[in-house]
Amino acid sequence: MIRLESLKEARRSTAADLAHQQCIRPACGRTYELTATPQRCDDCGALLDVVYDWEHLPVPDRLALFDERRASSRDPLDYSGVWRFRELIPFADLDKVLTIGEGQTQLRRTDGVGAYVGLAPGRLFLQYEGLNPSGSFKDNGMTGAFTHARMVGAKFAACASTGNTSASLAVFAGISGLLKAVVFVGSGKIAYGKLSQALDYGAATLQIDGDFDDAMRQVQEVCLQTNLYLMNSLNPFRLEGQKAIMYRVLEGLGWEVPDWIVVPGGNLGNSSAFGKAFAELLHLGLIDRVPRVAIINSTGADTLTRLVNGHGLRWNGGDVDDAAVDAFYAQMDAENRKAHTLASAIEINRPVNLDKALRTLEMTDGVVRAVPDEAILDAKAQVGAHGFGCEPASAASVAGARLLREQGVIGRDERVVCILTGHLLKDPHATVGYHSFAPEKLKEEFGGYGVNEARHANRPIAVRDDIEDILRVVRNL
């Protein structure tokens, strides 16, 4: 049996030669050095992957070997929920790894939410990524990107964000002091919890007069014209870190593969990373099948759903119908159609990782659905009532699982993992509004998003400062 500690020693001598970056389109396939920082392939404009020479890298022969790391968590690399799987993310020399203790998250069986989704007891699991240091799954990826930023000596880093990437970038920059963070956010477009993080952690915060899609376009241009290092999920090293979410899901299930992974889709970084994680585990013989991945949009930001379900867009072995995508975006612009959803984290109409998400769908026999904001907020209240809670975008996964159950796509006895991407406290306005607004106020504030009813509202109870009144309320609870 290979011990992990001996692997660690072996890794030290090998790192840089056994990984490179590569264009994901097989027809191009151009390679780049590990320390290069192109945003996309210089030749064909496609996305890039980090690719490993697995045959020459030491990898354990069973996933269960990673269990020993949990017992030795005094080592920061073992404590990290990302780097304790370092043999599966072997792009960095270990002394370059920058970790802030990300990935201490939990997979919880939640029968109450399972019943709401329509699953048999013991079949629904929630992966609480809101328990990360910055309160969202982004920290899994940010440790990867910061490690790479350290490898290339970056002094400034930038991202566009609907809020969580900026919070994560800001906290990593603040703790490490490695570089200065510059974040681009759509003015008035991000939830207060997230904006407060970027400001408090000291990031230069550019509020662009536009939405995420505008900010994303601008940040790419700024990074091209300056020496800013791009921290969005276009950066393949971000996605390397996010693979670890899937390793922890498998770990939480005793290294068994679930039937479904259900994940909200915004810029499509997570779904892209998950597909890569499973493709690699399968290649390495560490799993014998892959789960199906369901990507869930909000109906107010449903580019992927429209392209896949409406236009039949597919990865097609890497031969994506780019003309169909271009025509779709041209039409969107002609209609001036902007993303519009209360799930502000996924209020994105031009997902940069579209190609990689299509690849995930193909390799996992995945599906795509869009759910309305009303269903998202109802599902969110159910998650809250049975667990640690989540922000609206995260609950799209639960609402999506419920829809797929109703449609008979997911079976009642299948094992389903919904990824809860962000913490409840990120967006107090959505939560407090849902639970406390009177019907007219709810329509006024949220009606424009199609939210007209709060079926699972837990209303605060107004009571006079009078002991008799208070006792009457308490006795009637």
Name the site residues for ligand F0G (rule: CB under 6 A): 136, 138, 161-165, 233, 264-270, 345-346, 391, 393-394, 421-422
As a whole number of angstroms, the distance between CA 398 and CA 419 comes to: 8
- CB-nearer residue toward ligand F0G: 105 or 267: 267
As a whole number of angstroms, the distance between CA 393 and CA 264 comes to: 7
| Least distance to ligand F0G, CB of residue 197, Å | 11
As a whole number of angstroms, the distance between CA 134 and CA 193 comes to: 10
> Is 310 within 8 Å of 304 (Cβ atoms)?
no
| Least distance to ligand F0G, CB of residue 267, Å | 3
- CB-nearer residue toward ligand F0G: 63 or 382: 382
| Least distance to ligand F0G, CB of residue 391, Å | 5
As a whole number of angstroms, the distance between CA 111 and CA 121 comes to: 5
| Least distance to ligand F0G, CB of residue 120, Å | 27
Q: Which residues contact 75 (CB under 8 A, 6 or more apart)?
A: none
| Least distance to ligand F0G, CB of residue 266, Å | 3
| Least distance to ligand F0G, CB of residue 96, Å | 24
- CB-nearer residue toward ligand F0G: 91 or 128: 128
Tokens of 417: 């993992």
Q: What are the two backbone dihedrals, phi and then psi, of residue 420, each rounded to the nearest 5 degrees?
A: -95, 105
Tokens of 236: 């393949």
Task: Count the neighbouring beta carbons within 10 Å of the beta carbon of residue 29.
Answer: 15
> Is 391 within 8 Å of 423 (Cβ atoms)?
yes
* Chain centroid to CA 192: 19
- CB-nearer residue toward ligand F0G: 41 or 418: 418
As a whole number of angstroms, the distance between CA 200 and CA 445 comes to: 28
As a whole number of angstroms, the distance between CA 123 and CA 114 comes to: 7
- CB-nearer residue toward ligand F0G: 88 or 390: 390
- CB-nearer residue toward ligand F0G: 34 or 424: 424
> Is 123 within 8 Å of 416 (Cβ atoms)?
yes
- CB-nearer residue toward ligand F0G: 80 or 270: 270
Tokens of 419: 């990824």
- CB-nearer residue toward ligand F0G: 110 or 197: 197
Q: Where are the beta strands (DSSP E) in 110-259?
A: 124-128, 156-161, 180-186, 204-208, 229-230
What is the full DSSP assignment across 110-129? -HHHHHHHT--TT-EEEEEG
| Least distance to ligand F0G, CB of residue 397, Å | 9
| Least distance to ligand F0G, CB of residue 242, Å | 7
- CB-nearer residue toward ligand F0G: 60 or 353: 353
Cα separation values, 31 from 23, 24, 280, Å: 6, 10, 18
| Least distance to ligand F0G, CB of residue 472, Å | 41
